[in-house]
Amino acid sequence: MLCRVRAFGAEEWQEVRAKGKRSFLFRYGFLGRGLPLGALAAVAIEGALGSQLPDAFLSLSFLGRLVFCVAVMTLSGCVAASFNWNLHEKRHAHHA
């Protein structure tokens, strides 16, 4: 579920907004970007390092890389989702 930046219509935005910013950041920052891209980056790094896959997935070094990659991607995803939230707040302010 790699989510790109979404544009919400006024009515749709009101439904999304009612669930709150925290829910929005979780959905688009963590589930939409952090988790999938972090996992993909960790696997790519592991492959680039020449580790034996899938055995490497059980190593502590891979798990550390996975946690780090998911954290970095989640941070960037939440920043992007926050900008998207603020954009929609401004765009639909007259509907509130």
3-61, pLDDT tens digit by residue?
Answer: 556 788 889 999 999 999 999 999 999 999 999 999 999 999 999 999 998 999 999 99
pLDDT value at residue 10? 87
- What's the rounded Cα separation, in Å, for the pair 82 and 20? 12
| Short-list 64, 68, 37, 42, CA closest to 53 | 42
Contact by Cβ (8 Å): 41, 66? no
Axis-axis angle for helices 35-48, 60-91 (nearest 10)? 140
pLDDT(94) > 90:
no
**Boundaries of every domain in the chain:** 10-95
pLDDT(95) > 90:
no
Write out the two tokens for 2.
């790699």
Contact by Cβ (8 Å): 8, 16? yes
| pTM of structure | 0.84
Which is higher by pLDDT, 6 or 81? 81
